[in-house]
Structure 1
Amino acid sequence: MITAVSMGHPMRIRRFLAALVTSLLGGAVLVGPGHSSAASTAVAVTVNVRGGLATMPETGLGINDAIWDSQLGTTAVSDLMKSAGVRVKRYPGGSYGDIYHWKDHTAPGGYVAPGTDFDTFMASVKRMDAEPMIIANYGTGTPEEAADWVRYANVTKKYGTRYWVVGNENYGNGHYGAAWEADHHPDKSPAAYARGVVAFADAMKAVDPAIKVGAVLTMPANWPDALVGEGDAGSWNQTVLSIAGSKIDFVDVHWYPGGGTAAEALAKSAHIDDAMYLLRGQIDRYAGGRRLGISLTETNVGVGPNTQPGALFLADVYSGLLKNGVFTVNWWNVHNGIDKVSTVAGHTDYGDFGMLSSGTCTPDGSVCEPPLNTPFAPYHGLSMMNLFVRPGDRFVQAGTDDPLVTAHAARRPDGDLAVLLLNKDPDNERTVNLDYVGYTPAGGAPTVYSHVNGGTSITSGRDGGATTRTLPPYSLTTLVLHPASKPSGAPAEPGAPTAAQVTDRTAAISWPAAAAGDHPIAKYEVYRQDGATSEQLGETAGTSFTARNLRPGTRYTVNVLARDTAGKVSWASPPLTFTTGTPKDSTCTVRYSANGDWSNGYIASVDITNTGPASVNGWTLAFTWPTGWQQMNGGWNGAWQQNGRDVKVTNLDHNAELAAGGGTVNVGFVAGYSGPNVLPSVFTLNGTVCHAE
């Protein structure tokens, strides 16, 4: 089943164009918001500066633009995008990327607006001080055409265009049943696309070896992730990475998580950490050990794209992806056009996936958008991101004890700390109490930026304190704090750690030494991130440390801090994530297989083997799902039950005995999932942790 498709599809574009012809100007229809009351219990917010995450890249904040948008090259749009902090602009627009021929500026089967050619686009990019992200036409183009485009851009015009993606959503070419992406190749398999990527990359890099070429992958747990088409050796991601991984520099994914209500849509950001973990695992497994970059070049909220859910979703998702090391996140779209009109949290939503109003009306003229280029709520969400985190800032861990309040944080090189707080409750205020780990804010009022439901701008000022704040309903708030004392003379942060010899209980961690400050470095401290808090695993005078007493089959993210002889502490190192294994010398083994995945479920087959010296008479196998969106939907060859995330299966009368030294039984069940499907890896047989094969 298709869970999400590109907002760049020709059908949606034709709706936009029809509406644009109908009307170019309109007026907003707004319904007054209701009042709300504060929640009775304060929300605990923890900001942990010791939990260092990714550094904000120069290319972090991005947007899509399209050749069918007559406003593409206008100064008004460029100025608005620059003001919001956009540093990457993608072209020629979604699925149009696979029908667009740059030399004659045509898109057979689609509409091309005047004044939207490549040079006009590049002029707008330069006005914004941004970088282009170009879709090379795989669907109806050739490697030679793409190479000529690189030559024109970087040799003839000397634009220095770095980022090129081969195609758009090429898995939507009909190979898996659904067909929205143009693909004139007779072979539409992932292997054919991967071979095409190799040919494109070779041809394009022969012209300019400095460019970075990306290949299209699917977001984990989004269609058609995990599907294996007829005649294929593996899924789309596995196949593309296995064939083209050595030729590309990054992978490109899209994410439209959907949701039947605004609340459901806003909860989807909880999927990001696990989705990125799975995607990096696929890259590590299939791309020959290469550390490829990740771009996410299309995303949008499922409900309320013009109203406050759009702003909340944008800020939450951009923060979640960027702190996981994605190098650019691009919103769909600058302009898109009116669609289904509704009321969301007291305000008219036009169903328009554009960040700026197209000034269009419904076909019957009954409802019109605000005037052309009026910013919708997501624009203010993007502007808030630009105020919250700047290139070079380091994201740090932050968390809350209320699912309707989300916190993100970033520390700045000058010692300042920015905290972004999102209240996703449309009706109620939230009072939050903030606790800081590894950071002491100065006294006095912080700088505060705020955007509330229905707001037409971001307000700013200095008020309140650093530890308590009341968040209006459906609001975005950023606090910028100064440290109690400016960092001076402390050691530099250690280099990025690596892990080796990872077993079920231990991991050897090493890192490049930190540069000393005013005093010699006395020791290094190794911390494990545990949600928004940190657990110190140990310390050492050297630049390596063996972590012990770890839990089998557990994902660990660690940072290293340097402390000098005067007690001054560095900022946290870049993060390291690794997963422990299971004991090789156990008296049982488990082989867990996911078969016939259909993108939200699969058939699980579990082989349980007694490798011990004594027979087992009566057994129970237990495991815990890694996430809360996975479930067991009935099984066979045992008595199955699930309680919360815990699953266990007990023998039946006919298979109660497992003979010593290799007695095996097979059990199975139907598994379901509604988010990133991290497979279970730790199984216990009668309480003993088994070796997982």
Structure 2
Amino acid sequence: MLQKRRQLLSGIGAVLGQSVLGTACSTGSGKALADAPATSNGATLTVFADDALRPLNPLVLGNNLDWPHSAQGFLKENSTTPAPAYLELADRLAPTALRYPGGTNSDFYHWRNGIGPYDKRKPNKTLEGKEERIGMGTDEYLALCKRWGAEPLITINLATGSAEEAAEWVRYTNRRDNDLPRVRYWEIGNEPYLASHFKEAGMTPAEYAARANAAIRAMKAIDPSIQAGIVLRNDTLGGVESTPFKGYIDTVLKGIQTPFEFACLHSSYFPVTFEKKESEQELFTATMAGVHVMQQDMEATRAKLRQYHPNRKVQLAFTEHNALYSMDILRWGLASIFLSKTDRYIESLAGALFTADCLRVYSQTDDILMANFWSLCGNWWYGAISHEGKPRPQFHVLEAYRDLIRGSLLRTESNGIAPMATARSGFVPAQAAIPSIEAHAVREGKTLRIAILNKHPEKVQTLNIALPGVGKAKASARELGARHYFREDVKWTDRSAEIRDGRIELALGRHSFTVLTIQLG
């Protein structure tokens, strides 16, 4: 069992860069959504429309752009030109932060191979061991950042590159005269806490710390204003081993003495079933409990940072996040498209609800620098835009959050939310009672928006929303749902509503994500 878990862990980073043809969510029979009345359990959410806690951080709506395979289909083949269908959808998402040049593929990326005329560029190695010409080079990437107003985040090649190469990349992006954005944020390597699948890319935690020191010094000698992010991982997630390098975080934090400004975490892929013995409902409820493990890991990371760097204010950056269930692709390759049920659960309503829950937590957490969904397009079952250039379920959540990251976070209070027991799966231990409804509220001018998750796999629930001081107002609700959380296509359902005497009663479809929009005054 331990060996299987380690094999899966070592393969997660490897598969992220693979180009695997997929389709939209399959339609199965599933359970019909009965016209049963909503469960009335006294659940109340009070939203204080005039009590803003702090401005929202727009950088939680970041994304990832992986360079190989024509940037995972984003570019026309053998060119630097975006494919129109992909660009049209990506424009709708307009990520607020964009990480590049990949996850594991950054370990083999040499930036000089991606500049100049396309037909003059040297081929670059991919994580699959192949050579490919870079269409999505540094300038093409920064042009997209400019187009979307996205904050650039570059992950340097610490595995097979050098400190000097990283420093010259800083010089190239930040010390030349053009209209492309400067790069302020730099991630120092990618997932060195996992065993490398290529020998030349492997390093121990001590080697990572030494290389990170050298790279940060060299890069800040070119531009002292940049911010560096080091890669951290605790020994366990949810009590389960999460790195083969025991004591990784202690070794790294003791070893890195050069100033760094943020910590990069990927403790955001859940639940990851190792044994595959769970029922679909058990997998779903574990997915709904995943953010609790993520939050526990955040606090464990903060404690380690306080222990080793007590006088340094360090923000957290979730530079990759998405749902993850299994890695049958490591056993069956492309045949897993047909043989695996659980691999493709990523691109389901359950995966979309997990993404919405992550974005809720990031929005409510005040020491988050940014969060980057993995990934923008293609990329096995991960991309928000599929290999066919169509929206996947997470796309709709990410698009809805364009409105939910504007303005200020509001104070809310919840009472009477029904608790829900969840099953154990992978990194997620069984939970006796998580809230079956989660919500947060934001305000932009006269517009109030409330994002609500009904995590219950079976029950339609009623949420009574109180708005002290509001009185009467027009409202509309958009609900993202599906007849089955793993097997059915998702769709939005729209309905109008009205606030009377500062209250509204909202029926929430089972396993659904709802955005309630209220126009004040």
Fold conserved between structures, TM > 0.5: yes
- 1:31 maps to which of 9, 28, 31: 28
Q: Secondary structure at 1:66's aligned position in 2?
A: coil
- C-alpha contact (below 8 Å) 1:442/1:481 kept by paired residues: no
For 1:63, the equivalent position in structure 2 comes to: 63
- 1:302 maps to which of 324, 341, 353: 324
For 1:314, the equivalent position in structure 2 comes to: 355
Q: Is 2:518 the partner of 1:481?
A: yes
- C-alpha contact (below 8 Å) 1:434/1:467 kept by paired residues: yes
Change (3 A) 1:397 1:309: same
Change (3 A) 1:412 1:48: closer
- 2:296 maps to which of 263, 274, 277: 274
Please show how residues 226-625 of structure 1 align to structure 2 within 5 Å: 229=246, 235-244=247-256, 246-254=258-266, 255-260=268-273, 261-303=283-325, 304-325=345-366, 326-337=368-379, 352-358=381-387, 372-390=388-406, 392-394=407-409, 396-399=411-414, 400-403=417-420, 405-412=436-443, 414=445, 416-435=447-466, 439-453=468-482, 458-460=492-494, 462-465=496-499, 466-482=503-519
Corresponding pairs, count: 436
- C-alpha contact (below 8 Å) 2:170/2:219 kept by paired residues: yes
- C-alpha contact (below 8 Å) 1:172/1:180 kept by paired residues: no
Superposed displacement of residue 375, structure 1: 0.4
Q: Secondary structure at 1:104's aligned position in 2?
A: helix
Superposed displacement of residue 416, structure 1: 4.5
Change (3 A) 1:155 1:460: farther
Q: Per-residue displacement from partner, 1:279-333 (whole Å, max 9, x unpaired)?
A: 2222222124211111001122134211111111101111112311322211212
Superposed displacement of residue 27, structure 1: 7.4
Query: TM-score normalised to the size of structure 1?
Result: 0.57
What one-letter code is carried by the residue in structure 2 that aligns with 1:218? R
Greater Cα shift, 311-320 or 471-480: 471-480
Superposed displacement of residue 268, structure 1: 1.3
Which protein is richer in strand relative to its size? 1
- C-alpha contact (below 8 Å) 2:53/2:408 kept by paired residues: no
Superposed displacement of residue 170, structure 1: 0.5
For 1:508, the equivalent position in structure 2 comes to: none
CA RMSD of aligned residues (A): 3.0
- C-alpha contact (below 8 Å) 2:39/2:460 kept by paired residues: no
- 1:153 maps to which of 173, 177, 182: 173
For 2:207, the equivalent position in structure 1 comes to: 192
Q: Is 2:230 the partner of 1:212?
A: no
Change (3 A) 1:455 1:386: farther
For 1:107, the equivalent position in structure 2 comes to: 125
Q: Give distance in 2, aligned partners of 1:319 and 1:239.
A: 32
Between 1 and 2, higher relative CO (CA 8 Å, sep ≥ 6) is seen in 2
Q: Give distance in 1, aligned partners of 2:491 and 2:146.
A: 26
- C-alpha contact (below 8 Å) 2:91/2:148 kept by paired residues: yes
Q: Give distance in 2, aligned partners of 1:62 and 1:481.
A: 26
Q: Secondary structure at 2:271's aligned position in 1?
A: coil
Q: Give distance in 2, aligned partners of 1:6 and 1:72.
A: 27
Q: Per-residue displacement from partner, 1:47-96 (whole Å, max 9, x unpaired)?
A: 46499766421312011111124233425434423322521111111111
Superposed displacement of residue 120, structure 1: 1.8
Q: Give distance in 1, aligned partners of 2:208 and 2:199.
A: 13
Q: Give distance in 2, aligned partners of 1:69 and 1:125.
A: 20
Change (3 A) 1:416 1:425: same
Change (3 A) 1:104 1:66: same
Q: Give distance in 1, aligned partners of 2:411 and 2:148.
A: 28
- C-alpha contact (below 8 Å) 1:7/1:353 kept by paired residues: no
Change (3 A) 1:445 1:384: same
Change (3 A) 1:184 1:269: closer
Superposed displacement of residue 384, structure 1: 2.1
For 2:154, the equivalent position in structure 1 comes to: 134
- C-alpha contact (below 8 Å) 2:45/2:463 kept by paired residues: no
Superposed displacement of residue 456, structure 1: 5.7
- C-alpha contact (below 8 Å) 1:140/1:182 kept by paired residues: no
Q: Give distance in 2, aligned partners of 1:456 and 1:111.
A: 38
- C-alpha contact (below 8 Å) 1:252/1:297 kept by paired residues: yes
- C-alpha contact (below 8 Å) 2:451/2:513 kept by paired residues: yes
Q: Secondary structure at 2:113's aligned position in 1?
A: coil
What one-letter code is carried by the residue in structure 2 that aligns with 1:248? F
What one-letter code is carried by the residue in structure 2 that aligns with 1:428? K
For 1:42, the equivalent position in structure 2 comes to: 41
Q: Which runs of 5+ in 2 are unaligned?
A: 76-81, 115-123, 274-282, 326-344, 421-434, 483-487
- C-alpha contact (below 8 Å) 1:242/1:288 kept by paired residues: no
Superposed displacement of residue 182, structure 1: 6.2
Superposed displacement of residue 140, structure 1: 0.4
Change (3 A) 1:469 1:68: same
Q: Give distance in 2, aligned partners of 1:66 and 1:318.
A: 21
Rg larger for: 1
Superposed displacement of residue 160, structure 1: 0.6
- C-alpha contact (below 8 Å) 1:273/1:324 kept by paired residues: no
- 1:77 maps to which of 79, 83, 86: 86
Query: TM-score normalised to the size of structure 2?
Result: 0.75
Q: Per-residue displacement from partner, 1:255-282 (whole Å, max 9, x unpaired)?
A: 2122541221122122343332222222
For 1:592, the equivalent position in structure 2 comes to: none
Q: Per-residue displacement from partner, 1:27-52 (whole Å, max 9, x unpaired)?
A: 76423551223454335133464997
Change (3 A) 1:402 1:432: farther
Kindly, what percent of the aligned residue pairs are identical? Answer: 24
Change (3 A) 1:318 1:181: farther
Superposed displacement of residue 428, structure 1: 3.1
Q: Which runs of 5+ in 1 are unaligned?
A: 21-25, 174-178, 230-234, 339-351, 359-371, 486-693
Q: Secondary structure at 1:98's aligned position in 2?
A: helix
Q: Give distance in 2, aligned partners of 1:86 and 1:286.
A: 34
- C-alpha contact (below 8 Å) 2:348/2:489 kept by paired residues: no
Q: Give distance in 2, aligned partners of 1:278 and 1:38.
A: 42
Q: Give distance in 2, aligned partners of 1:29 and 1:205.
A: 49
Change (3 A) 1:43 1:125: farther
